[in-house]
Structures are given as C-alpha cells and as structure tokens.
A and B are shown apart, each in its own frame.
Chain A
C-alpha cells in the first residue's frame, strides 16, 4: 500500500466568491489548505487558472472531482482523465479524489452522484476501474462515500463493507464524508457510528464536513447549510478512530462570507484539539 499523504490540517473548499477575501487578506487566514473542484479548473485559461496559480503558491491544494463516474458501466472517459491529469500536472495537488458513484451511461451526464448496489459484481467492476485510473494517473486516488436516498434489494453487503473492500481491492485511499455517513444513516436507518468503526484506519486521508437539508422523510446532501451538531458529534467519533486526518468544510450553495466558514472550521479545530495531542495536530507545512 502506498504511504498515506501527510496531515494537512484544516481546510476549505475553494469557491470563486471567496477569491478576493483569500487573496487580498492583509493578515494570515486560519486556513491550512484548499480543495478545488477539478472540473472548474479544467478550462483553457482565464481567471479560474490565474486564481488557482495564486492560491497554490500560498497553500497546499487537493483536487476533488465530480465527473469521474468510477462506478459507471460506461467505458472510462479517457479524454476526461487526460484533462484531469493535465490539471494535476499544473496544480500539483497533494492528492486527487472523486466519488464512489456513477453519473451517467450512454454518453449522458446526469450531474448527480448516483448510488450502486453493494454486490460482488459491483465490487469487481469498480475496484478494477479504480486500478485503471490509478495506473493512468500514475498515482493513488481517494474515493469518497456518497449520500444516498435509496438502496438496492440486490445488495449483498453493507455500505461500509463495500467501501472498505473497494479500498482494499483497488489499493486506493478513502475520503470519508462525515455528513454523507450521517445522511445515509438517517435515510437508510443504519448506525452511523458503526459505519465509522468499520472503515479501515490506514485508508482514510481526508474528511469532508458539510451541511444537508431536509426533504419529505429524507435528508438531502445539498451543501447549502452549516454543518449540523450531529455531524460534528460524528466527526468527534471519527477523529477518535482515525486520528489526525485532513479536515475541510464543503459548502457549494448558499455560500456565506468566508468568516462564517472559518467559524465552522474553527469548531472542527476545537473538537480536534480536545481529542488529538499537539504533536498529532502538527501539520507537515
């Protein structure tokens, strides 16, 4: 297994609304690193790439994609992967991640993170594809658990078994989205604490903390709200199990001023300092 990347500390998802606040800040901001949405920077030129260049000069960056469609039965999109690789050569990220989901088949992109049944067939299929992507990119990638609203009758195992087994077979890292564990736990009535306990410690390189919204008898992964108390509680459990893992707030909609996100990030920091030693909390930088 490839050695885990270093602990980066506490970061944020980079959003264009915050470019000026980040780049023109006259004092050092309490942000250790940024996660970029890969697709937003897979463009020819202009402001997105200029901003990325300025951010990466000052902060460690990781790349997070939404369109790899690793669990799709459509052929791997090699053109997409080539552009992803080109961006990685440019951005020099600490790691690259995408979701354990499919986004479409037959040349269509539904722009959603769609779930799959947890079967031996799917395990083989997805693990094989992750290996191919890792070979192509020449690096280990991190795969994120998603929020889901339905499960499949044909599933042969629990989600946590499936996720753990994928990581083992594909020899990849995991990005544990704590909110997604909570949302899926509520939606499918499983014990979210147990989910956390079943994930292999040595695989997890990153945590996502995010907000969700409430539909009719369902929680929806909208990333348009602050992180809720229950998710922070689950985060505490995750820290106890996994130790220092690079943590970030993922906000994609209804985006507040930077200061509000920094407050949330600070709450994560405080929780971590109650659990981890100062030695453990030291970042590589």
Chain B
C-alpha cells in the first residue's frame, strides 16, 4: 500500500476541512509566494463551492433569511455534514433537517418547511421517470372491481405535511413579493410536489385531498377513500368527489399505476 500517500492525503484533507497548516511543510512553492497562500486556494475553494451549492439549492430559504444568516447556517452545515457524495447535487439533502436542529434556526419551524419545499422540487426534478397511468387505463377497469382499486403514486410525487404558511411565503418570495407574516396552524397543511412533462409542479391540497393522497400512499382502496371522504364533507357526494380527484390526478400525471384484482 502507498503508505506515504495515505498519510499525506489524510493530513491534507484534514487541513482543508479544519483550515489547519500541518501539511504546509511538505509543499514546495516558488519564492515569490508562500505555501500558506497557495494552500489557502484549496481551503477557500472547499467552503465557497459548498456554500454556493446550498445557496442554489435553497435559494428561497436564503432570500427569506438574508445573506448573513444564511451564510452562517451554511457554514455550520458544511462543518457538521462534510460531503460524502460523488455529486454535489445531494450535498444539501440534510439541510431541512439540520435547520430543525441548529440553535441558529430551531425556533423557526417555517425555515425547515420552506427548505423542504425546495428539496422536494429538486428531488422531483430528476426522480425516476416511472410509468404514467391514463384516463384510458381507468376506463378499461371493469366496474365490479372499482371499489377494490388502489393506486401507485408516480415516483416524482412528494407529499409535504406542514404546520405553517411556508408555501405562501415560498410563493411570495419566488414572485419577488413581500411575504405575509408567519402563521402557524394546528391542522396539517398539505403541499404536493411532482413532475409532469419534465416540469416540476407544486400545489396546495385541501384537507380532504391531502387525506386522500395519504390514503393512496398507504395503499388503501377506492371504497375506503370514499368512506373517509364521507366523514369530511357531504356524504352523498363523497364518491363523486373522490372520482373527481382521481381524474385530476391522472390528468396531471401523478399516478403510475392503477392496481386491481383481475
């Protein structure tokens, strides 16, 4: 094994991560400069590059927080979550979670929720293509099995269950408007993120539709979905409301597969 190289790389990496200088004595540089200055190019680049990735992936969170606070949080994140990915695309995947824990942000639940919307959109962007079920597939289903019908959500779909007006704040910031003041809710606010025709989409779901998507994710069938819808709003029209949602989901490419016993 390349013993000398093993030791050199360990020390060089550690000195880049911690901005230390133990490895400098092993460098040779021209007389007009110093090893310290030259090594600083690598040390600076590491942090600059990762802050840049975070500020691209969490651009709206950054807008909400302002430069200084976002930078502080980014630097803290970089320290606690060194990249272990071959693609920087996934470096920031723990950032929403990190925001719930960092003392700098843990009392602002809206931050995590805004960041989660951004992460869901990024994830939907290059998630697996998967199949897309259509209205024709639905029409082909024998009426006698409709009540047992279950649904496989498209792999690009992400259902966010939030407790603040993060989505409104997110949309205001994206549209360069002043966001409303922060609000917190007891009930769950559902946001659905997905991709259709290669474009990332998002929309708020009302309580009933949010519940239905939750049921769909749990693999519950059409009959149960209707039963639950009947407890939320007018019972007589429950089945037609659920059918309406299913039509909409199919048309917006949210469903991969309609599953029923043959």
Which A residues are within 8 Å of any B CB, using their own CB? 39-40, 42-50, 67, 72-73, 77, 80, 102, 104-112, 114, 116-117, 119, 121-122, 124-125, 149-155, 187-189, 215-218, 220
The answer to whether the Cβ of B177 comes within 8 Å of any Cβ in the partner chain is no
The answer to whether the Cβ of B184 comes within 8 Å of any Cβ in the partner chain is no
Query: Is there contact, CB below 8 Å, between A106 and B10?
Result: yes
A47 to B, closest residue via Cβ: B198
Indicate which residue in B5, B27, B39, B85 contacts A153 across the interface (CB closer than 8 Å).
B27
Q: List 26 A-B contacts (CB under 8 A).
A: A42-B87, A44-B128, A45-B128, A46-B129, A46-B195, A67-B86, A73-B2, A77-B86, A102-B9, A108-B84, A110-B13, A111-B91, A112-B42, A116-B8, A119-B4, A121-B4, A122-B5, A125-B2, A149-B38, A149-B39, A149-B42, A153-B28, A187-B30, A217-B32, A218-B33, A218-B37
The answer to whether the Cβ of B235 comes within 8 Å of any Cβ in the partner chain is no
- B181-213 near A? 1/0 per residue, CB < 8 Å: 000000000000001001000000000000000
Query: Is there contact, CB below 8 Å, between A121 and B86?
Result: no
Alpha-carbon separation in the docked complex, A14 to B117 (Å): 29
A165 CB, min distance to chain B CBs, angstroms:
15
Which B residues are within 8 Å of any A CB, using their own CB? 1-6, 8-10, 12-13, 16-17, 25-30, 32-33, 35, 37-39, 41-42, 45-46, 49-50, 82-89, 91, 124-130, 155-156, 195, 198
Query: Is there contact, CB below 8 Å, between B2 and A153?
Result: no
| Residues in A neighbouring B33, C-beta threshold 8 A | 216-218
Alpha-carbon separation in the docked complex, A117 to B86 (Å): 23
Alpha-carbon separation in the docked complex, A92 to B128 (Å): 20
| Residues in B neighbouring A42, C-beta threshold 8 A | 86-87
Interface centre among A40, A151, A155 (most CB of B within 10 A): A151
A217 CB, min distance to chain B CBs, angstroms:
4
A sample of 13 more A-B contacts (CB under 8 A), given A116-B9, A117-B5, A187-B30, is: A42-B86, A46-B156, A49-B126, A72-B9, A102-B9, A111-B49, A114-B12, A116-B5, A117-B4, A117-B8, A149-B42, A188-B29, A188-B30
| Residues in B neighbouring A122, C-beta threshold 8 A | 2, 5
With contacts A151-B27, A215-B41 taken as known, whether A46 is within 8 angstroms of B84 at the C-beta atoms is no
A206 CB, min distance to chain B CBs, angstroms:
22
Interface centre among B5, B30, B85, B198 (most CB of A within 10 A): B5
B194 CB, min distance to chain A CBs, angstroms:
11
